């Protein structure tokens, strides 16, 4: 099958004047392309995942609807709370058609207690949209485009991202976790892991400094931070895309594993560096004192 030359929506699009995501010779992306850093990171991460992964109900299925529901619920809500509400919601609305035909009040009642009720409204609107128009499982260029056919979710992120309530992360997550597409899914946890492992704990990139500046010790941390610029989102997504295995089943495990690492070990406050399986490959972890 011929590959399209159109940039994938889950990979950063080139900006005007750019030929694509550019990286300096010392950037993490360049290092991944040159050597085995990504291979070592994936190997250690997947080995840890095999023994430490939590048994969560949405990980036992590849059903697109159930994966979708879990992803909507997990937005800004703790896993333990979602694990309580998810089975009840699925029992009451077992498929897209049932959800689409439900009254808004019924959907709201089933969601009550999870908060952020716009998510429930968006999920309901999505179900109505998909069921109302039908989505063929294979359309033009096998992309799962809208048309007459079975009411199901498309498997292509380009189509998923057009649906109500679905953004860049959710499109990647549903495509990978339901259809085993080898695409990145960068949420808050994944972003934090990538920043700490490949860039260091600081969420910034150093700007180019003059020879005089390079030879002058910075007076304090504040001065150092003022000479830095934020790491662009497109670079984070490019890095994630470069790390995701090309095999769909391994991509599923990798994306689940890196999210799990961010949720359990590489947490926002007080990361557990001494327990981290990728610490030898982590710029931040290597700086932490043992103990």
The reply to whether 71 belongs to the active site is yes
Percent helix, percent strand, percent coil in the chain, to nearest 5: 55, 5, 45
Of the residues 18, 71, 109, 213, which is catalytic? 71
Task: Find out whether 197 and 190 touch, Cβ atoms under 8 Å.
Answer: no
Burial 123-146 (b: 16+ CB within 10 A, else e): bbebbbbbbeeebbeebeeeebbb
Task: Find out whether 135 and 152 touch, Cβ atoms under 8 Å.
Answer: yes
CA-closest candidate to residue 199, choices 220, 223, 228, 227: 228
Beta strand residue intervals within the chain, DSSP E:
204-206, 228-230
Instruction: Show Cβ contacts of residue 23 under 8 Å, excluding neighbours closer than 6 positions.
Output: 29, 30, 235, 238
**Secondary structure (DSSP) of 123-148:** HHHHHHHHHHH-B-SS-GGGS--BSS
Mapping DSSP to helix (H, G, I), strand (E, B) and coil, where does residue 250 land?
Answer: helix
Secondary structure letter of residue 2 according to DSSP: P
Alpha carbons 144 and 156: distance in angstroms, whole number: 6
Residues designated as active site = 71
């Amino acid at each position: 099958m011929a590959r399209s030359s159109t940039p994938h929506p889950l990979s950063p699009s080139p900006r005007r004047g750019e030929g694509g995501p550019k990286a300096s010779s010392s950037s993490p992306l360049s290092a991944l392309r040159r050597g085995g850093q990504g291979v070592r990171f994936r190997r250690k991460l997947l080995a840890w995942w095999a023994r430490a992964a939590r048994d969560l109900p949405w990980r036992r299925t590849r059903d697109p609807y159930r994966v979708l529901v879990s992803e909507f619920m997990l937005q800004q809500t703790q896993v333990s709370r979602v694990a309580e509400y998810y089975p009840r919601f699925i029992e009451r609305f077992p498929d897209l058609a049932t959800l689409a035909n439900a009254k808004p009040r019924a959907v709201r009642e089933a969601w009550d207690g999870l908060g952020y009720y716009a998510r429930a409204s968006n999920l309901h609107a999505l179900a109505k949209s998909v069921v109302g128009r039908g989505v063929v499982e294979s359309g033009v260029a096998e992309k799962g485009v809208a048309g007459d056919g079975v009411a199901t979710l498309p498997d292509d992120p380009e189509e998923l991202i057009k649906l109500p309530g679905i953004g860049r992360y959710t499109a990647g997550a549903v495509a990978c976790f339901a259809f085993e597409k080898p695409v990145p899914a960068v949420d808050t946890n994944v972003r934090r892991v990538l920043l700490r492992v490949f860039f260091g704990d600081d969420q910034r990139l150093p700007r180019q400094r003059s020879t005089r500046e390079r030879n002058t010790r910075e007076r304090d941390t504040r001065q150092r931070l003022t000479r830095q610029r934020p790491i662009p989102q497109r670079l984070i997504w490019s890095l994630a895309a470069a790390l995701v295995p090309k095999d769909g089943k391994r991509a599923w495990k990798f994306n689940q594993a890196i999210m799990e690492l961010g949720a359990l070990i590489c947490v926002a406050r007080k990361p557990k560096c001494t327990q981290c399986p990728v610490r030898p490959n982590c710029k931040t972890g290597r700086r932490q004192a043992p103990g």
